Amino acid sequence: MRTTPIAVPAALAALLLLTACAGAGGDEDGDGKRESTACSVDTVSVEVGPASVAPAAGDTGEVPVVLTNQSAACTLDGFPKAALVGISDSATLNAPPAEGAKAQKLTLAKGESASFTLTYERGTPRDGAFNAEKLRVELPGDTSSSVIRAFPWTYGPVASAGQGSHKISVGAYQQAGD
């Protein structure tokens, strides 16, 4: 049996070639979007507060942290890393994820923001409260040279939860703004 070659116009051939290549090259999901790198404290501005301060022992306070991307698109994947640092810098209290919180992956274009909230219960020295001087913020996946940002902690001591833990937790990242 003999076949007759089909003439394909040059424009159609070029379109087919471009379509075949569109799914290749760094797009794991095949959705045409480029994978962005992890957000870095070198390229993201960080603002802490204003807080809803716990006024007395036993009260709950919330400290919002807002991250705004100042560079190329980047990704926040996982939970924020937040820790309180004591007077000696050797005493550190890591904030675990809030009970029931689910981490989500957010991609921030230049100028876009995300936020997370630290929730704590104010304590007293008698209950084994942790006296913090600084809040340390790190971003998941950040491998830059200055991985940590520190901010003054002026919200009072964090109550003990017993067995070496304290009443503090960190929420998941949330898209901020419009």
From first to last of the 178 residues of the chain, give the pLDDT tens digit.
444 444 444 443 333 333 333 333 333 444 445 567 888 888 899 999 989 999 999 999 999 999 999 999 999 999 999 999 998 767 889 999 999 999 989 999 999 999 999 999 999 888 889 999 999 998 888 776 566 788 999 999 999 988 778 999 999 999 987 5
79: number of Cβ within 10 Å:
21
Is residue 43 within 8 Å of 75, Cβ to Cβ?
no
| Domains of the chain, each with CATH number or no CATH | 37-176 (2.60.40)
CA-based nearest residue to 118, from 51, 59, 63: 63
Give the pTM: 0.75
